[in-house]
Amino acid sequence: MKTKEIVLDLLTRSKSLRDNDNRLVANVWAVELGGKLNELSATDLLNYVAEGKLSAANNIKRIRCKLQQENDYLRGEKYEYKQRFVQDRWRKEMRKKEIYTFDNPDDWEIDIEENNERLY
C-alpha cells in the first residue's frame, strides 16, 4: 500500500489524526511495519527511519495537507483556523518586509507583465 493510500485511509477512519501530524506519522509507520511493531526495539525503529524503510515524516505531512486541501471531509477542526488566520498573519509579515504586496493574483500577472516590458 502506498503512503498516500495509508494516509487517506487513516484520515478517513480517525478524526483525531486530522489535526495531529505526530500521531498521524506514528500510525502510518505502524501500518507500514505491520506485525513487526511489537517485536522492534527503539534502536531498530530508528534504524528503519534512518535507512528510509519508513515513509518520511515530512512526506506524510505534505500528503495530509494535499488530501485535506482537496477533500473537505478530511479536514480537522484546526484547518479553517490555519487557512484563515495563519495565512493572514503571514501576509502581514511579508507586507512589512515588502516581499508580498498584492492580495489579488491578477495584480501579480499585471506587475510581471509590466516588469517584462521594461526588461526587453
pLDDT digits (tens, 9 = 90+) for 21-48: 999 999 999 999 998 888 999 999 999 9
Alpha-carbon gap, residue 75 to 73, rounded angstroms: 6
Of the pLDDT bands very low, low, confident and very high (cuts 50, 70, 90), residue 51 is: very high
Contacts (Cβ under 8 Å, ≥6 apart) of 18: 11, 64, 68, 74, 75, 76, 77, 79
Dump pLDDT digits (tens) for 54-83.
Answer: 999 999 999 998 999 899 888 887 776 666
Cell numbers 471531509 correspond to 73
pTM of the model: 0.66
CA distances, 98 to each of 16, 25, 115 (Å): 38, 36, 17
Crossing angle (nearest 10°) for helices 21-33 and 57-70: 110
Q: Where are the domains of the chain?
A: 1-76, 78-120
Residue that wins the pLDDT comparison between 111 and 28: 28
